[in-house]
Amino acid sequence: MRQPSLHPGFTLIELLLYVAISSVLLLVISAFLSSLLQSRVKNQTIAEVEQQGVQVMQIISQTIRNAKDINSPTQGTSASSLSLDVITGANNPTVFDLSSGVVRIKEGVATAIALTNSRVTASGLSFQNLSRSNTPGTVRISYTLTHLNPSGRNEYDFTKTFIGSATLRQQE
């Protein structure tokens, strides 16, 4: 018959086994948390671009709908800026354009106001006048927003092109 040990405790093998199992569990948990954090940052990046893109499209579309006339681009042509004759005389002309990666609005003689913030860069802003004779003016709007990614990390990398159109509600 074997006698009980006088020094109860862990053997070296048991201790190494516990440390190995704990290490593997910590590694799996930290990899999962890292992946979760990257997904969260990616979702915030996408939301930022989407939110700004939709907001810019709504502002431009609403201004077109409430305008009296399209000054430029002329019927059947495209341009990188849009000039509108609006109802409020002090805001004539209202101009949308792209400057240094920022979509801007300029109302009358006031200074231009940025419609996008410093976390995104706009490119490819295009306005196409789709109007036909004896119809309210219609403008097709297109631009691309890219989230700034100075660190080069994948989760900050996102680009989306926004396309829409709007038609004047009033005719002169």
User: What count of Cα atoms within 13 Å lies in the side-chain half-sphere of residue 139?
Assistant: 31
Q: What is the mean pLDDT of the chain?
A: 91
Asked whether residue 30 is domain-assigned, the answer is yes
Q: Which tokens go with 25?
A: 């569990």
Asked whether residue 113 is domain-assigned, the answer is yes
pTM of the model: 0.80
Asked whether residue 2 is domain-assigned, the answer is no
More confidently predicted of 87 and 51: 51
Asked whether residue 172 is domain-assigned, the answer is no
Asked whether residue 6 is domain-assigned, the answer is no
H or E, element range at 42: helix 12-66
Over residues 60-76, the pLDDT tens digits come to: 999 999 999 999 999 98
pLDDT at 135: 80
Torsion over CA of 106, 62, 171 and 125, rounded to 10 degrees? 60
Asked whether residue 107 is domain-assigned, the answer is yes
Asked whether residue 63 is domain-assigned, the answer is yes
Asked whether residue 1 is domain-assigned, the answer is no
Structural domain total, the chain = 1
Give all strands of the β-sheet with 102-107 in edge-to-edge order. Answer: 67-72, 82-86, 94-99, 102-107, 113-114
Range of 31's domain? 12-167
- For 143, list phi and psi in degrees, rounded to 5: -160, 160
